[in-house]
Amino acid sequence: MPATATPIRTARRVDRFTYAIRNIVIEAQKVERAGTKVRYLNIGDPIQFGFATPPHLIEAVARAMRDGHNNYTASTGILEAREAVAADFTGRGVPVPPDRVLITSGTSEGLELALTAIVNEGESVLVPSPTYPLYTAVLAKIGAEPLYYRTDPSNHWLPDLDHMRSLITHSTRALVVIDPNNPTGAVYPESVRRALIALGEEHGLMILADEVYGDLAYSGSMPPLATLDLDAAIISYSSLSKAYLAPGWRAGWMAVGATPRLDGALAAIKKLADGRLCSPGPMQYGVVAALTGDRSHQATFRQELRLRAELTTTRLNGIDGISCVAPHGAFYAMPRVALPAGRTDDDYVLALLRKTGILCVYGSGFGTEPAGGFFRVVFLASLSELDGIYDDIAAFTREYLDISSG
């Protein structure tokens, strides 16, 4: 066969890489082509459900473009944005200088930079189960292992510290803490947060504090994890995506804790950041506007989310065969359906999609056992739309469980 007829082969690392939240859309498109309207409850994007980016952020980005800020920026980000992030953290109780801040293409890029900078192939990272799948995707790419620590639905989805301890080996390098949590909606109390820091510190781990929902706890903004121990090896992350309603801008930031133990990691992260030039320049002016301007939209958004969380918990717990732990932050719930023996979470989710057009993501896409029957609901749709969706989930589940067991 001539070389031109040979398919280009793909790298082995791609075989290890999965991203259920987006992969499942292929199934949804098939359902759509067959004529069923799909209700997409798979992706946490408030804009797709009618929430609007605050106008002063849009104006700041548009003005930046008009004013000619269309150049490459410093790889760590423009000084004004790093100063705004540093001032924001300092105001929240974590003094950090602008030279320990990086502006990134969303938290996603910052997390990938840090993991790539400090974790070698074959080493491991503690990741919650269930987890936001970015972590397992990045670890697959760099040839490292996720160590899934249990978070317990019978205990408000809080981390099981004994289980975490039992997983740590000499090659464990980092601990991922997602609080408020996607996919469970859990918000960790201070005692748990302190215990997580103590565990990380005891084992010399770098702690990645994913606080992308930090301003979306229903009781109000959470203090960053780093406030509890300013000397701990914590990198704090957030972005414009959720609490500032601009996910498509891909604008986020990371603040590297002041401890000199993180100096090497910071230098390595900056070195890697040089290789991708910079995050989008005009959006960095949006970061400045977000962190120095009016944030009143957040109180309204939190209230909207609280109402949806209450409806979701009440309605799902009212369905025979489904139980749901109440979320306390963000816009996700992780209900569980009591599956008949032999069935898996993706059987249920795909059957729900094909029958009703409702698209959720199966729990095993976030690392739970397939037989566990967990699935994730994004509850950003309007209350009336959600009510209709839960009616349909109830009717479908009644039928699914009867048919399966009968």
Ligand X SMILES: Cc1ncc(COP(=O)(O)O)c(C=O)c1O
Among 39, 42, 44, 176, the residue binding ligand X under the rule CB under 6 A is: 44
Taking the complex as a whole, the smallest distance from the CB of residue 383 to ligand X amounts, in Å, to 22
Among 46, 247, 282, 367, the residue binding ligand X under the rule CB under 6 A is: 247
How far apart CA 7 and CA 1 sit, in angstroms, is 11
DSSP secondary structure letters along 96-110: --GGGEEEESHHHHH
Of 239 and 364, the one with the shorter C-beta distance to ligand X is: 239
Query: Helix 297-317 vs helix 383-405: angle between axes, to the nearest 10 degrees?
Result: 30
Q: Is 177 in the site for ligand X (CB under 6 A)?
A: no
Site string for ligand X, 192-231 (x = CB under 6 A): ------------------x-x-------------------
Among 40, 132, 285, 301, the residue binding ligand X under the rule CB under 6 A is: 132
Edge-to-edge strand order for the sheet containing 252-256?
A: 101-104, 252-256, 234-239, 206-210, 172-178, 124-129, 145-152, 158-159
Of 258 and 360, the one with the shorter C-beta distance to ligand X is: 360
Of 210 and 346, the one with the shorter C-beta distance to ligand X is: 210
Residue of closest CB approach to ligand X: 106
How far apart CA 38 and CA 363 sit, in angstroms, is 20
Find the Cα–Cα–Cα–Cα dihedral 48, 317, 131, 37, rounded to 10°. Answer: -30
Taking the complex as a whole, the smallest distance from the CB of residue 35 to ligand X amounts, in Å, to 30
Of 42 and 364, the one with the shorter C-beta distance to ligand X is: 42
Q: Is 151 in the site for ligand X (CB under 6 A)?
A: no
Find the Cα–Cα–Cα–Cα dihedral 121, 178, 186, 379, rounded to 10°. Answer: -100
DSSP state of 94: -
Taking the complex as a whole, the smallest distance from the CB of residue 136 to ligand X amounts, in Å, to 12
Record the tokens describing residue 29, joined without a space.
């498109």
Among 224, 252, 281, 363, the residue binding ligand X under the rule CB under 6 A is: 252
Give the distance, in angstroms, between the CA of residue 48 and the centroid of all CA atoms in the same chain: 17
Q: Is 42 in the site for ligand X (CB under 6 A)?
A: no
DSSP secondary structure letters along 15-75: HT---HHHHHHHHHHHHHHTTPPPEE-SS--GGGGT----HHHHHHHHHHHHTT--S---T
- Interface with ligand X (CB under 6 A), residue total 14
Among 53, 124, 241, 364, the residue binding ligand X under the rule CB under 6 A is: 241
How far apart CA 31 and CA 367 sit, in angstroms, is 25
Of 106 and 146, the one with the shorter C-beta distance to ligand X is: 106
Q: Residue for token digits 């797709």?
A: 48
Of 42 and 356, the one with the shorter C-beta distance to ligand X is: 42
Taking the complex as a whole, the smallest distance from the CB of residue 184 to ligand X amounts, in Å, to 10
Taking the complex as a whole, the smallest distance from the CB of residue 355 to ligand X amounts, in Å, to 27
Taking the complex as a whole, the smallest distance from the CB of residue 107 to ligand X amounts, in Å, to 4
Which residues in the 80-109 window bind ligand X by CB under 6 A? 106-108
Of 278 and 401, the one with the shorter C-beta distance to ligand X is: 278
Q: Is 134 in the site for ligand X (CB under 6 A)?
A: yes
Helices (H), 119-242: 134-142, 161-167, 190-202
Taking the complex as a whole, the smallest distance from the CB of residue 44 to ligand X amounts, in Å, to 5
Nearest partner of 246 among 51, 25, 13, judged by Cα = 51
DSSP state of 374: B
Of 210 and 229, the one with the shorter C-beta distance to ligand X is: 210
Nearest partner of 197 among 167, 164, 221, 222, judged by Cα = 164
Q: Is 182 in the site for ligand X (CB under 6 A)?
A: yes
Site residues (vs ligand X, CB under 6 A): 44, 106-108, 132, 134, 178, 182, 210, 212, 239, 241, 247, 252
